[in-house]
């Protein structure tokens, strides 16, 4: 059957002609299809953004647990000589839980922002929260990492809170 012959029949021409300009109709269809795709894309994007926001909030909360563990371990380290054998075992158990938490965060794409004491402050990743005077050191030199900072994949989740040198 020849397609050309069949669809060229007068009935069909009339039908489409009667619905005003057939090409505008066709265009409308194509645009409709494309718009539908765009709407889906937009909705998906919105959903993605919202869930990313939620995840970000959740990860930040988890990081506070990490901070709390670390603060505790720091105190324990300072006072190490006064701890008895039994407590040491328990602390070891807590460390395991802490490591579990870190592993879970790593799975989510969380990694620490590498910062060393003596580095110069980088405003894009370091947040200066405390200052100290130190003769002989350049302004902006990091002397202490107060709170660790983290990447979430390639984006900043939380900047490193640092104490830096500032001499008047």
Partner 1 sequence: MKKGRFVGIDLGTTNSAVAVIEPGGGCNLIFNSENERLTPSVVAFRKGEFYIGSPALNVFKLEPQDTIISIKRLMGRSIKDPQVQEMKRRYLYEIVEPSDGTKDSVRVKLGGKEYSPIDISAMILGKLKKDAERVLGAEVTHAVITVPAYFSDKQREATMEAGRRAGLKVMKLLDEPTAAAIAYGIKVGVEESKWVLVYDLGGGTFDVSILVMSAGGSSVVHLEGDMWLGGDDFDQVIIDYVVERVKEEYGIDPTHNHRFMAHLRVEARKAKEILSSQRTAEIIIPAQLRDELGNAIDVEEEINREWFEKKIEPLVERTMRLTRKALDTQGLTPDDIDHVILAGNATIIPKVQEAVEGLFGKEKVKRIVHPKEAVAIGAAIVAGMFEGIECVNCGHINDLEANRCAKCGKDLGPEKEEQMKICPHCGAENKKDAEICKKCGKSLLGVRGIAPFHYGIQTVGDKFNIFIRKGDPYPTPEESRKVQTFRTWYPNQRRIAIPVYGGMNEECASKNDKQGEAFCILPPNLPEDTPVRIKLWLNKDGYFEVEAYLEDGTDLKPWIMRGDKDQLVMEKFMEAEKQIAEKEGMFSPDQKSKLEQLREKVFEKMRKRDFDGALKEVEELKKSSEEPIEIDIEEIAKGLIAFTLFIIDRYGWMIGSYSIKTLQNAVTELEYALNKGDHNLIQTKSNKLKKELDEVLNSNELLIFFVGIMWVINTQVASVSPVEAVNLLEELEDIEIAVKNNQPHAIKMIENFDKKLKEILSKIKIECYKCRYLNYLNVRYCEKCGADLWLPK
Q: Is 16 exposed, middle or buried (0-12, 13-18, 19+ CB in 10 A)?
A: middle
Interface with partner 1, residue 51, by CB under 8 A = no
Return d(Cα 114, Cα 127) in angstroms, integer: 14
When binding is defined by CB under 8 A, the residue of 114, 139, 144, 167 that contacts partner 1 is 139
Q: How many CB atoms lie within 10 A of CB 60?
A: 13
Q: How far is the CB of 106 from partner 1 (least distance, A)?
A: 19
Instruction: Give the footprint of partner 1 on residues 87-116 (CB under 8 A).
Output: none
Of the candidates 136, 134, 159, which has an alpha carbon nearest to the alpha carbon of residue 146? Answer: 159
- How remote is the C-alpha of 43 from its chain's centroid? 20
| Inter-residue contact 113 to 160 (CB < 8 Å) | yes
**144 phi-psi bin (left φ>0, alpha ψ -120 to 50, beta other):** beta
Interface with partner 1, residue 35, by CB under 8 A = yes
Stretch that binds partner 1, among 83-91, 92-100, 103-111, 124-132 (CB under 8 A): 124-132
Q: How far is the CB of 126 from partner 1 (least distance, A)?
A: 6
Return d(Cα 140, Cα 130) in angstroms, integer: 11
Q: How far is the CB of 163 from partner 1 (least distance, A)?
A: 10
| Shorter beta-carbon distance to partner 1: residue 109 or 140 | 140
Interface with partner 1, residue 81, by CB under 8 A = no
When binding is defined by CB under 8 A, the residue of 16, 101, 102, 145 that contacts partner 1 is 16
Q: Footprint of partner 1 on this chain (CB under 8 A)?
A: 1, 3-13, 15-17, 21-27, 29-30, 32-35, 37-43, 46, 49, 56, 68, 71-72, 75, 78-79, 121, 123-124, 126-131, 139-140, 146, 155-156, 159, 164, 166
């Amino acid at each position: 059957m020849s397609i050309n012959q069949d669809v060229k029949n007068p009935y069909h021409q009339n039908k489409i002609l009667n619905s005003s300009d057939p090409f505008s109709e066709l265009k409308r269809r194509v645009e409709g299809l494309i718009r539908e795709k765009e709407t889906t894309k937009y909705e998906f994007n919105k959903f993605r953004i919202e869930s990313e926001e939620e995840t970000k909030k959740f990860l930040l909360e988890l990081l506070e647990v990490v901070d709390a563990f670390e603060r505790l371990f720091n105190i324990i380290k300072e006072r190490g000589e006064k701890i008895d054998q039994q407590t040491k075992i328990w602390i070891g158990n807590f460390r395991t839980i802490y490591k579990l938490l870190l592993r879970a965060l790593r799975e989510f794409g969380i990694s620490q922002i590498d910062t060393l004491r003596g580095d110069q402050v980088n405003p894009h990743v370091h947040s200066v929260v405390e200052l100290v005077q130190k003769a002989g050191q350049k302004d902006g030199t990091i002397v202490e990492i107060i709170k660790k900072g983290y990447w979430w994949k390639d984006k900043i989740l939380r900047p490193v809170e640092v104490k830096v040198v500032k001499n008047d």
